[in-house]
Amino acid sequence: MSPSASVVTYYDSEVITRRNTSEPEIWITMEYCEGPSLQDYINTRIQLSESFSVKEVYEIIDNVVQAIGHLHSQSPPISHWDIKPDNFLFTHGGILKLCDFGSASRIYYEPKREAHISAAQDELNSKMTLLYRAPESLDLWSKQRIDTKADIWSLGVLIYVLVFCEMPFEANTVEIIDGVPRRFRSEINSCPEPFAPLMAVVMKTMLVKDPQKRADIFTVSEALSQITKLDSLTRPSEGLETQRPRF
């Protein structure tokens, strides 16, 4: 993967085999980000009862979208599959960078057979964090494709957390599969007025239960740019390799 200002830089790696061990170890050298994680930053604001300003939220979103866009622009696209505040680190200069690629993949899941569904369930459980998982990754019997669109759902959850300083769903599989965030379960929602345009974009393009109707990161970026006035991502040219199926 090519370098990006929004993703921690990879420098080198080596496979180490220790004495009296049968399994080798993979050592990876990556950029050091000495600042806190985005989750630490959010926790501090919650403890101080200080909500984020619109400007702060827009700046964070810009960094996060740039990182996801970089992954999804690769050939074939890379799904991170664990987009959450814990996996974004601040550098000394205050730049937010995506890290932890243990869950990242260039494949997609679309299991049809029972054995494949069982295998996919085990693999996805080890890669994804429940509170940020897309509905299709939890309801494998729906036999929907699980790919980069799962990152878009996670992005929507992350933005919701920045706006409301709370999770949109309980750690409940049925509630997440249902796909309706707690603040939007009635016609009268409690969204702060300054964030209403942003949350309208989130609900229309990101927190969409059907992955086929959920936007890709480039459409999301374009929609966000209309309200944040920040630059949108450039959609990759046609001809990129596509992700291959797991089964």
The CATH number of whichever domain residue 194 belongs to comes to 1.10.510.10
Give the per-residue pLDDT at 2.
Answer: 72
Whether the per-residue pLDDT at 12 is higher than 80: the answer is: yes
User: Which tens digit of pLDDT belongs to each residue from 32-75?
Assistant: 888 899 999 999 999 999 999 999 999 999 999 999 999 999 99
Q: Establish if 19 belongs to a structural domain.
A: no
Indicate whether 202 pLDDT > 90: yes
- pLDDT for 4: 86
pLDDT band at 179 (very low <50, low <70, confident <90, very high): very high
Looking at residue 189, what is its pLDDT? 73
The reply to whether 23 falls in a domain is no
Instruction: Report pLDDT for 120.
Output: 96
Instruction: Please check the confidence at residue 188 and state whether its pLDDT lies above 80.
Output: no
- Catalytic amino acids? 82
CA distance 141 to 233: 34
The C-alpha atoms of residue 89 and residue 196 are separated, in whole angstroms, by: 27
* Residue 1 scores a pLDDT above 80: no
Q: Is residue 149 part of a domain?
A: yes
**Which residues form the domain of 162?**
33-245
Residue 156 has pLDDT above 80, yes or no: yes
Q: Say if 131 falls within a structural domain.
A: yes
- pLDDT score for 68: 98
The pTM (predicted TM-score) of the whole model is: 0.93
Position 7 in a domain:
no
* Lowest model confidence (mean pLDDT) among 173-177, 203-207, 237-241: 237-241
- pLDDT band per the 50, 70, 90 thresholds, residue 214: very high
Sequence-ordered list of residues with C-beta below 8 angstroms from that of 186, at least 6 positions apart, any chain: none
pLDDT at 26: 82
Please give the average per-residue pLDDT across 150-162, as a whole number. Answer: 99
Q: Which residue has the higher pLDDT, 235 or 24?
A: 235
Residue 233 has pLDDT above 80, yes or no: yes
Range 2-14 average pLDDT: 86
Residue 14 lies in a domain: no
Task: For residue range 93-151, list pLDDT tens digits in order.
Answer: 889 999 999 999 999 999 999 999 999 999 999 999 999 999 999 999 999 999 999 99
Residue 22: inside a domain, yes or no? no
Percent of the chain predicted with pLDDT > 90: 81
Residue 10: inside a domain, yes or no? no
Mean pLDDT over residues 171-183, rounded?
Answer: 96
**pLDDT confidence of residue 138:** 98
- How many domains is the chain partitioned into structurally? 1
